[in-house]
Structure 1
Amino acid sequence: MSTAPSLSDTTTAPSPDAVTLESDPRAKDRAGRAAMTELMRPVAGMLRLGRLLSGASAVLAIAPYVALVRLGEILLRAWSSGSAPDAGQVTLTVNVLIGTFCARLTLYFLALAITHFADAKLGAHIRGRIVDAIGRAPLAWFTSTNSGRIRKAIQDDTHTVHTLVAHAPVETTSAVVMPLALLAYALVIDWRLGLLTIAAFPLYAALQAWSMRDMNIKTAEMDTRLARVSATMVEFVSGITVVKAFGRVGHAHDNYAKAAREFSDFYLAWTVPLLKGSALSSSIVAPPVLLLINLGFGSLMAGAGWVSAADVIACALIALVLPASIEVIGHSQWSYQLAGASALRILQVLETPSLPTPPHPAEPQGNDIRFDHVSFSYGETLAVDDVSLDLPAGTTTALIGPSGSGKSTLATLVARFADPDRGTVTIGGVEVRKMTTEVLYRHVAFVLQDPQLLRMSIRDNIALAKPLATLDEVREAARAAMIDDFVLTLPNGYDTVLDDDTDLSGGQAQRIAIARALIVDAPILVLDEATAFTDPESESEIQRALNQLVAGRTVLVIAHRPASVKGADQIAVMERGRLVAVGRHDEIADQPYYAGLLRASATDGDRSAATKEN
């Protein structure tokens, strides 16, 4: 029996591959089925064994009906002869019934146990492959969209596949084999009674086929439309602060409302006829209708002496079982369709592009950095355009430029968030592509504007890159980062777990991130101005911590304020992906962008001083 599609299976914004399939639901359905087959390959043998045991269990389902007919014959024979029923025959029939019933339950339990073990194995296999895939992915790949896809693949989509692996093979096989076995037995009892058991089903099947037409195509389209609703919702919620600030709440909400309205119209247009057809077809195989057909015509046949009363009752009961089996098959097919979309998303995550691993890893022979004619693009957008820049060991270089100038992209190439399209980035004379990630991150540490603390203890957050660090080492790094005193005021000190209930200011979180970088003791440091979004008091403390951090290191800092760059050994100005000026503060003071930055800073300083005087 058909069921209305569930609205609980929301999705994140689609990946580029999914976007390609959006316009063609048939192609998406085919891709989903192929993805499901590929994903289940590691446990295919276990699933076949589960289906085999389930089929054997389903065949044994005819035992109660055989016993019913047999007992009916014994009792009717005894009643006709006026004697007591044969106790031995009755006992044997009951014992066979109990034995086959226990055997059926045992086989069914074993089948479910095998498929659940297969599900556990597949879940561990999928999650392991996802972790391996994202572990080899470029750090630049981890945008908020891709992070949402990973979360959904590991949690939601893997759970959707669970139902298909752990339950569907056993339940679907039983739902197919059991009615066929029962129908075969009904035909053995009497071919006319056997035909009566399925008399209502041709019309039922026709109505179901009509109402369920293009079900797989509609399911794929539903998944795509839900992705659009989810994407507009995330866009609206994530940008609500800016939207409200500019009084554009209504406009931003319209995009989400439009996507939701379009989905609602599609969903109602699909499911209303589906539910009507389902209700009509279900009424045809309702128990009263089936009993009326089987008992009504069966009693006429029994009255004519063609069959016994026990035969009629057994076949009538068989007829009542068939609709439930068909309903299970319908639910399973719907699960397969949903799981196909989930499997497709999982495979897309597993196909995440990975950074090439060097066949012959090398170790840097120094701490200097060199960009040699480096270019890098995001799709068709050129972010870094033929940049050459030398950063001598032990010096501080400040990257400045307007938003979108490419300074952050250039800096993150040092930490190999991605590989340049052209040119090379070298550390100590060795190209970063020729280093293993372990070697690279032993030489390069970074502190970004967003500290990205994990849901674990403060001690583990600080010791993230040095898991075997002692508490004394952790506290030494925390003291240098000016955060030790605060941590000791917490009830659990360094064992305090950071979660949604932990009340940390932005400055405190940033200083924990600085302590994390200090404990690594890497000779090269990439800073994306850590004080950009903090209050003045926190900024002062963070700046003191940074002074500890940068001492003696090669530092590349992405700067936004002139005060942060005046003391740098060199200042590099970027505009539209190109390097337009390099020098010390006094050497580039006349450079247009830098001069404008200085004037704006002076104006802000005058305003601040005037405010204090007032």
Structure 2
Amino acid sequence: MTTDTAVADEASAEQEPDSLQQQNPGGKPLKALLRPVAPKLAIGRILAVISALLAVVPYIALVHIGDMLLRAVAAGEPVDGDEVQRWLRILVITFTLRLLVYFVALTITHVADIQLGHVIRQRMVERFARVPLVWFTSTNSGRVRKALQDDIGTVHNLIAHQPVDGTNAAVMPLALMVYAFVVDWRLGLLTVATIPLYVAATAFSMRGMGAKTAEMDQRLSTVSARMVEFVTGITVVKAFGRVGRAHRRYQDAAEEFQQFYYSWVGPLIRVSSLGSSLLAVPLILLINIGGGTWLVHRDLVTPANVLATSLIALLVPYGIEVLMNSMWAQQMAVASAQRIVDLLDTPVLDDRAGDTLPVGHEVVFDRVSYSYGSGDDAELALDEVGFTLREGTVTALVGPSGSGKSTIATLLARFDDPRSGQIRLGGVPVAAIGDLYSHVGFVLQDPQLPAISIRDNIALGRPDATDEQIREAARAAQILDEIDSLPRGFDTVYGSDTGLSGGQAQRIAIARAILVDAPVLVLDEATALTDPESQHQIQQALSRLVRGRTVLVIGHRPEVISGVDQIVLVESGRVVATGTHDDLLEEPAYARLWRFADATSSAGAEGGL
């Protein structure tokens, strides 16, 4: 596309949602996203609670067995083997049952994750099939890639693991600590001795975590978008020696993220290190075994009690660590869910299209206005544009770069809907024509060939076309011999088995338009980026393509402009004048364009339409 599309790209980038501003502290987007699998997640949490409570029983069994052994030794009596075996069976059964319940809970949440991933991707495909084509810019490509890969992966961890791991990490240490107080309140205090200090340090370091996490995620989205933007245009910028300038936007975004991350994480690491030292194993053992030994010597508790509560104290830090990771995952998932919901809420084209068929193929632009931004203050790219394409004629759009020519052309192909006004084809608004692309075909500057076979590329608009029809379209587009010369012919996969020149790719796009055989045709500078030899071949194909059709063409070359039935002069989004070449020679703006085009036209320029 031309400069008009570049304007659209910039406008789209400005509209990119700011995760920091849109962050909902209550996690409402996340709740809405998880609604289809909420029952499964609830079952997973319930099973996790059961598993966590079962984890207490082995410690109860351990205390009972230890006390029986110590009492038997102290009394010089034999150990009650049956009682010991009974408690051992209880220990093994509950431990095994706990693992089984935990496994079932994880299985349920993983199934929920698979289900939700399918639902999200399906909804995205359905949504993207209905959004305006102008929405698909390089910046939006970065957003879509992040949502489909990174964000769904982040939500995966939250669904598949957090309901079970997080619930277990919260309930199991709590249940064990309660049991430690049941064994002896003094041992219970030793078990949690360092936790208040750790919680205080953690609370201090977590201040503003939600906002910071959202800001980090937003900055990562910006870096991702700039990377896609840079890589997509690397060929052109290298050809013109502008790599440094083109790379700067990506580099600046990366450096800004780096500075933000270091300034945020640096203090966190110091506080986190202090907090982690309070849960170190040597310190916990020193407090619990040292304090427990003193209590044993005073005959306040038994060694079995001290052993059980010391083991519980060692498990508490693990539970806290998992719980903190779950909280971090929750923060990340809320931001990811917000971006996914934003994409799923992308504005779509009006679906009022019905079975109305146009009567004839005259095209009328009736006071059409359009802006790439939203809101009343958005700058208009087109301002009440009005003209008519008579059936069976060729109309050329001319004007300086950025005047709105490509925007007009793509609105006819319904890449988006006007902000106001109407475009009618055969007396019917294009938005009301159900199968618009059987009536309107287009060949753009960028041919946009998917990575599929050349046969499928040509038949993209008519999947039911026969091989003979595809070959005939390729012949008419002056590309048949070159396709046949490829090792795999029409089965050659574009971008994988072979690469094509710009002229070859453009002629395949023309073959596609010929096969569709639409009575209205939009040509957006179809030869602008090709060499003179390719221009001649493309022009021969276009000359055959436009016969008998209503054609809207964008072009600057004198041969194109002078050979059409009507010329529409566009400046700053407005139609300045319409008429034939001779009619407009007295128009100063047209005369300037004509002199410039005539001066820069090469000897090998394309022939007349």
In the superposition, the TM-score normalised over structure 1's length comes to 0.89
Deviation at 1:212, TM superposition (A): 1.9
Query: Aligned runs of 1:464-503 on 2, under 5 Å?
Result: 464-499=460-495, 502-503=498-499
The aligned counterpart of 1:18 is 17
AA at the equivalent of 1:397: T
Would the alpha carbon gap of residues 79 and 506 (structure 1) be closer, same or farther in structure 2, given more than 3 Å must change? same
The aligned counterpart of 1:222 is 216
Query: Aligned runs of 1:40-55 on 2, under 5 Å?
Result: 40-55=34-49
SS in structure 2 at match of 1:378: coil
SS in structure 2 at match of 1:586: helix
Match of 1:297 among 284, 291, 305: 291
Q: Distance in 1 between matches of 2:418 and 2:402?
A: 17
Query: Aligned runs of 1:458-469 on 2, under 5 Å?
Result: 458-469=454-465
Would the alpha carbon gap of residues 277 and 302 (structure 1) be closer, same or farther in structure 2, given more than 3 Å must change? same
The aligned counterpart of 2:509 is 513
Q: Distance in 1 between matches of 2:86 and 2:271?
A: 47
The aligned counterpart of 1:449 is 445
More moved, 251-260 vs 322-331: 251-260
Match of 1:569 among 534, 541, 565: 565
The aligned counterpart of 1:7 is none
Would the alpha carbon gap of residues 95 and 145 (structure 1) be closer, same or farther in structure 2, given more than 3 Å must change? same
More moved, 235-244 vs 95-104: 235-244
Would the alpha carbon gap of residues 352 and 60 (structure 1) be closer, same or farther in structure 2, given more than 3 Å must change? same
Query: Aligned runs of 1:139-218 on 2, under 5 Å?
Result: 139-218=133-212
Structure 1, residues 35-60: CA drift from partner, whole Å, max 9, x if none? 11221122111111110011111111
More moved, 423-432 vs 78-87: 78-87
Query: Aligned runs of 1:56-135 on 2, under 5 Å?
Result: 56-82=50-76, 84-135=78-129
Would the alpha carbon gap of residues 77 and 606 (structure 1) be closer, same or farther in structure 2, given more than 3 Å must change? closer
Q: Distance in 2 between matches of 1:85 and 1:118?
A: 50
**Identity across aligned pairs (percent)?**
55
More moved, 101-110 vs 223-232: 223-232
* RMSD of Structure 2 on Structure 1 (CA): 2.6
Query: Aligned runs of 1:298-313 on 2, under 5 Å?
Result: 298-313=292-307
The aligned counterpart of 1:353 is 347
Structure 1, residues 126-175: CA drift from partner, whole Å, max 9, x if none? 12222222222122222222232222222221111111111111110000
Match of 2:392 among 378, 391, 394: 394
Deviation at 1:258, TM superposition (A): 4.9
* Unmatched 5+ stretches in structure 1: 1-12, 610-614
AA at the equivalent of 2:415: F
SS in structure 2 at match of 1:568: coil
Would the alpha carbon gap of residues 15 and 177 (structure 1) be closer, same or farther in structure 2, given more than 3 Å must change? farther
Retained in 2: the 8 A contact 1:28–1:220? no
SS in structure 2 at match of 1:288: helix
Retained in 1: the 8 A contact 2:296–2:303? yes
* Unmatched 5+ stretches in structure 2: 1-11
Deviation at 1:198, TM superposition (A): 0.6
Q: Distance in 1 between matches of 2:16 and 2:245?
A: 29
Would the alpha carbon gap of residues 376 and 255 (structure 1) be closer, same or farther in structure 2, given more than 3 Å must change? closer
SS in structure 2 at match of 1:425: strand
Retained in 2: the 8 A contact 1:393–1:554? yes
In the superposition, the TM-score normalised over structure 2's length comes to 0.90
Would the alpha carbon gap of residues 487 and 89 (structure 1) be closer, same or farther in structure 2, given more than 3 Å must change? farther
Alignment size in residue pairs: 590
Q: Distance in 1 between matches of 2:604 and 2:350?
A: 51
Retained in 1: the 8 A contact 2:139–2:229? no
Would the alpha carbon gap of residues 383 and 207 (structure 1) be closer, same or farther in structure 2, given more than 3 Å must change? closer
SS in structure 2 at match of 1:416: coil
Q: Distance in 2 between matches of 1:229 and 1:130?
A: 22
The aligned counterpart of 2:8 is none
Q: Distance in 2 between matches of 1:526 and 1:134?
A: 23
Retained in 1: the 8 A contact 2:293–2:306? yes
Deviation at 1:86, TM superposition (A): 3.5
AA at the equivalent of 1:315: T
Report whether the alignment pairs 1:272 with 2:266: yes
AA at the equivalent of 1:485: D
Deviation at 1:82, TM superposition (A): 4.3
Would the alpha carbon gap of residues 102 and 280 (structure 1) be closer, same or farther in structure 2, given more than 3 Å must change? same
Q: Distance in 2 between matches of 1:318 and 1:418?
A: 63
The aligned counterpart of 1:5 is none
Query: Aligned runs of 1:518-557 on 2, under 5 Å?
Result: 518-557=514-553
The aligned counterpart of 2:380 is 382
More moved, 581-590 vs 548-557: 581-590
Match of 2:575 among 576, 579, 594: 579
Would the alpha carbon gap of residues 573 and 175 (structure 1) be closer, same or farther in structure 2, given more than 3 Å must change? same
Q: Distance in 2 between matches of 1:33 and 1:568?
A: 59
SS in structure 1 at match of 2:56: helix
Deviation at 1:14, TM superposition (A): 6.5
Structure 1, residues 446-499: CA drift from partner, whole Å, max 9, x if none? 111011111222222222222233333322222222222222333333222223
Retained in 2: the 8 A contact 1:17–1:348? no
SS in structure 2 at match of 1:356: coil
Retained in 2: the 8 A contact 1:562–1:597? no
Retained in 2: the 8 A contact 1:377–1:384? yes
Match of 1:364 among 348, 358, 383: 358
The aligned counterpart of 2:314 is 320
More moved, 538-547 vs 327-336: 538-547
Deviation at 1:277, TM superposition (A): 1.0
Q: Distance in 2 between matches of 1:384 and 1:541?
A: 34
Query: Aligned runs of 1:236-275 on 2, under 5 Å?
Result: 258-275=252-269
Would the alpha carbon gap of residues 545 and 142 (structure 1) be closer, same or farther in structure 2, given more than 3 Å must change? same
AA at the equivalent of 2:105: A
Q: Distance in 2 between matches of 1:249 and 1:413?
A: 33
